[in-house]
Structure 1
Amino acid sequence: MRADDVVPLGRTDVSVTRLGLGLASIGGLFAPVSAEDAARTVDRAWDAGVRLFDTAPVYGYGLSERRTGAALASRPRAAYALCTKVGRLIVPGGTDTQPIWADPPPGVGPRRDYSYAGVMRSVEDSLERLGLDRIDVLHVHDPDEDFPAAVTDAYRALAELRARGAVGAVSIGVNHAPVAARYLREVASPGPDCVLLAGRYNLLDRTGLDDLLPLCAARGVAVLAAGVYHSGLFTDPRPTAPHGYRTVPAALARRVAAWHALCRRHDVPPAAAAVRFPFGHRAVTSAVVGARTPAEVADTVRAFAHPVPEGFWAAAKSADLLPREAPTPAI
């Protein structure tokens, strides 16, 4: 399996590469990124064969979408899959702000809106920022923020867009696997085509395996695994690194250290183990990995290409770093 292998996204007509580029970082996640670095990061991913790009209105309050659109403007539109999200409008005076964005545009902020009209407006706004006329994969972002509206009004809007060909695939983007499983069970038929699962199916957190991934496999719902580096703990675990932890909890730090030690013994880069692990489950189509520099893209592509022997996974289970029932990828 290669990072640039192209596969169908579940039961849809959308094609994606095994490796996708998450674009929150180029919107200033945790630390500022220049426009030049943002463009060069997307360019480096393209040169490596990556053709799956995932952004959202809330990423830098529109900044990520604008930079994504600019970086992809010269690329053949049929050659890549673009994902964005609905659930928050970027409006003057929006108060649903988040402190994780380093340099958002002044005077605007997010406002939660999962209504039918709000979703339709969000799509129009995203297309304007991106400079595109269609979206390949549209996620309902964080449906737990207003679950009753997200599972009814927002889905109705997305299903309508899918039916008329304005959207290639309908999805949800979640940070909690039980929320996604509940959504799939309660939404009207035929339901989403895809789930973007962030941080809940990786070497440190496998709650996606409890219910969601088996459900997706049974229903033919594709899974895009994000957060595989667990906020950077498998690439740069230093306390000063720009990730989601101010202080890594002691128990988690011990498990991270154990994984790093196992990787050293087997000559496997920690990033390689992290980015390859989700593909052990048949529901997982792609891994979506963020980057803020071309070097980070190159590091992930190199990690994806590094073979991880079956003996490594067996050793991880023997050390109780993985449960015995966790499916693991072939070499």
Structure 2
Amino acid sequence: MTDQLADVRHEAERVELGRTGLRVSRLCLGTAGWAVGRSPEADSIATGMRFAEGPLNYLDTSNNYGDSETRIGKVISMLGGRLPEGTVLQTKLDRDPVTNDFSAARMRRSLEQSLERLGMDRLPLLFLHDPENTTYDFAMSKGGPVEQLVAFKDEGLVDHIGISGAPVDMLTRFVDTGLFDALITHSRYTLVDRSAAGLIEHANDLGLGVLNAAPMGGGILSVFPLAFDMYGYQRASATVREAAQAMGALLQERGIPLAAAALQFSLRNPSIHSTIVGALTPGQLDGLLELASLPIPDDVWSRLDELAPDRATWLN
């Protein structure tokens, strides 16, 4: 067993999140699915309570993640007004979902809404979310969203700031400004897409906290036989579907769930401090811990690498 594989057994072990000084578990509970129509409120609250009782200490949400902030706020209230000591809760500034407004004024409203929903007056970590929905030049302009995010840090409303999005080239430009303490990339570092591999290493070298989200690609790598054909919020290409099928068949022969390999692919990378993955019920959260700890032999990883699609099929 390699050292990297041994590290996978410690998904709840605390690691330093880059230069932030925050110590976080290597698995982070994502709450993007905590919304009316996708998840009953009772399930979300039960999952939040299970999280509070369990070994993980890292929780991710966002202003535009449905009802997640409100539901997390209810969990916090049920816990007496605060999460367990050492818990790191992060949220994200979001554009207006109707008008796509990314102005500084919208960023302030976004944070105010988040703090009210969560029942908090400050946050340890706050990200600018999905700036690919505007332009880099606007985001970095005087009076733009990045300037406002930095101002929140100066005002003491947040301790650390980060950038969260998808396109690798765009994220690299933001990382290289030196303004950010942390990075979230999603759907670009998985069994079937390695687009963000260089960005992840680069950000880690610069001292940023590095988080990888959607290690199961938004569904296609979550179960075998394949039950979903979506990857990165769009229909997966035929090449990606074929690769996922081949990987799932190989893993099935070895008695290994496809989801375990998808999750551990992210956990194995020492440049990734924490992996964000969603759970809608307490059972799903418990299942993630089990998937993260299942032994996967070295030769299986070698075969999975051989089955990975060519970079021409990657999203970036």
What TM-score comes out, normalization by structure 2 length?
0.85
CA distance in 1 between counterparts of 2:172 and 2:29 reads 25
What does residue range 172-321 of structure 1 map to in structure 2 within 5 Å?
172-185=163-176, 187=177, 190-209=178-197, 211-236=198-223, 248-317=236-305, 319-321=306-308
- Can you give the 5+ residue segments of structure 2 that lack an aligned partner in the other structure? 1-6, 311-316
Which of 68, 73, 78 is the matching residue for 1:64? Answer: 68
Which of 120, 140, 145 is the matching residue for 1:151? Answer: 140
Q: Is the 8 A contact 2:251 2:258 kept in 1?
A: yes
Aligned residues: 296
CA distance in 1 between counterparts of 2:171 and 2:288 reads 27
1:168 Cα offset (Å): 2.3
- Worse-superposed segment, 128-137 or 74-83: 74-83
1:153-188: CA deviation from partner (whole Å, max 9, x where unpaired): 222222222234321221111122222112223x3x
- Worse-superposed segment, 147-156 or 128-137: 147-156
SS of the residue aligned with 1:36? Answer: helix
Structure 1 match to 2:152: 161
Q: Is the 8 A contact 2:243 2:307 kept in 1?
A: no
CA distance in 1 between counterparts of 2:230 and 2:71 reads 21
Q: Is the 8 A contact 1:87 1:114 kept in 2?
A: yes
1:131 Cα offset (Å): 0.8
Distance change in 2, residues 1:246/1:196 (3 Å): closer
Which of 122, 128, 131 is the matching residue for 2:119? Answer: 131
1:249 Cα offset (Å): 3.7
1:259-283: CA deviation from partner (whole Å, max 9, x where unpaired): 1122123333212211111234332
Q: Percent identity?
A: 28
Amino acid at match of 2:107: V
SS of the residue aligned with 2:290? Answer: helix
Higher RCO, 1 vs 2 (CA within 8 Å, ≥6 residues apart): 2
What does residue range 90-105 of structure 1 map to in structure 2 within 5 Å?
96=97
Structure 1 match to 2:314: none
1:86 Cα offset (Å): 0.9
Q: What's the C-alpha RMSD, in Å, of the aligned pairs?
A: 2.5
1:239-274: CA deviation from partner (whole Å, max 9, x where unpaired): 766966786543222111111122123333212211
1:146 Cα offset (Å): 1.6
Amino acid at match of 2:201: P
SS of the residue aligned with 1:196? Answer: strand
Q: Is the 8 A contact 1:239 1:248 kept in 2?
A: no
Structure 1 match to 2:20: 12
1:121 Cα offset (Å): 2.2
Q: Is the 8 A contact 2:193 2:309 kept in 1?
A: no
> Are 1:45 and 2:51 matched, yes or no?
yes
Structure 2 match to 1:113: 101
Structure 2 match to 1:35: 41
Which of 86, 90, 104 is the matching residue for 1:83? Answer: 90
1:30-84: CA deviation from partner (whole Å, max 9, x where unpaired): x521110111122223333121111111112xx1110111123314364311111
